[in-house]
């Protein structure tokens, strides 16, 4: 029992000493060091220009302008989604909603395999001259829709 009492008194004494030390340090004023004086700005001297040097340099080179694409090239590029210079059947059919409506013979907004296969296979086969299942630019040009004649003005 003596050991417990002595241990308790020792703990209380150590805690009191710690609290007294902690409060003593907290009440001391801490001296903040003064900031260093600001550096004086140094002047930067630039080299003097050559008296014979022009005031302005030459104009920057202009980027080479790309030749304007023809109507068929723009049309081909619209279908050539992966830009590999070839049009596959999937690329050709991906963005053709008007063509879908033409293919849908019964008008139910559903294409049966027969409706789709008959029209598109025949058209693609007709354009694919070398039968490699890919359309080159020249082959694709043959699929161009026929232009309708504009009606004459009735002014």
Give 18-39 pLDDT, tens digit per residue. 877 777 766 777 777 787 887 7
Question: Would the pLDDT of 15 be above 80?
Answer: yes
Residue 2: pLDDT band by 50, 70, 90 thresholds? confident
Is residue 28 situated within a structural domain? no
Q: Which domain holds residue 97?
A: 71-141
Is residue 125 situated within a structural domain? yes
Is residue 95 situated within a structural domain? yes
Distance separating alpha carbons of residues 116 and 108, to the nearest angstrom: 13
Number of domains forming the structure of the chain = 1
Is residue 77 situated within a structural domain? yes
Mean pLDDT of all residues belonging to the chain:
78
Distance separating alpha carbons of residues 148 and 51, to the nearest angstrom: 69
* The Cα angle at residue 69 between residues 92 and 93, in degrees rounded to 5: 5
Distance separating alpha carbons of residues 139 and 87, to the nearest angstrom: 10
Per-residue pLDDT, 6: 92
* The Cα angle at residue 109 between residues 103 and 115, in degrees rounded to 5: 30
Whether the model clears a pTM of 0.75, i.e. scores above it, the answer is no
Is residue 137 situated within a structural domain? yes
Question: Would the pLDDT of 55 be above 80?
Answer: no
């Amino acid at each position: 029992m003596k050991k417990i009492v002595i241990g308790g008194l020792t703990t209380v004494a150590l805690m009191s000493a710690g609290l007294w030390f902690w409060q003593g340090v907290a009440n001391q004023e801490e001296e903040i060091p003064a900031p260093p004086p600001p550096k004086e700005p140094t002047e930067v001297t630039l080299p003097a220009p050559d008296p014979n040097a022009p005031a302005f340099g030459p104009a920057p080179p202009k980027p080479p302008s790309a030749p304007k694409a023809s109507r068929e090239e723009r049309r081909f590029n619209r279908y050539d989604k992966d830009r590999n210079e070839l049009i596959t059947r999937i690329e050709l059919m991906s963005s053709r909603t008007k063509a879908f409506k033409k293919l849908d013979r019964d008008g139910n907004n559903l294409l049966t395999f027969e409706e789709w296969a008959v029209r598109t296979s025949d058209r693609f086969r007709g354009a694919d001259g070398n039968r490699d299942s890919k359309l080159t630019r020249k082959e694709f040009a043959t699929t161009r829709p026929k232009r309708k004649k504009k009606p004459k003005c009735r002014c």
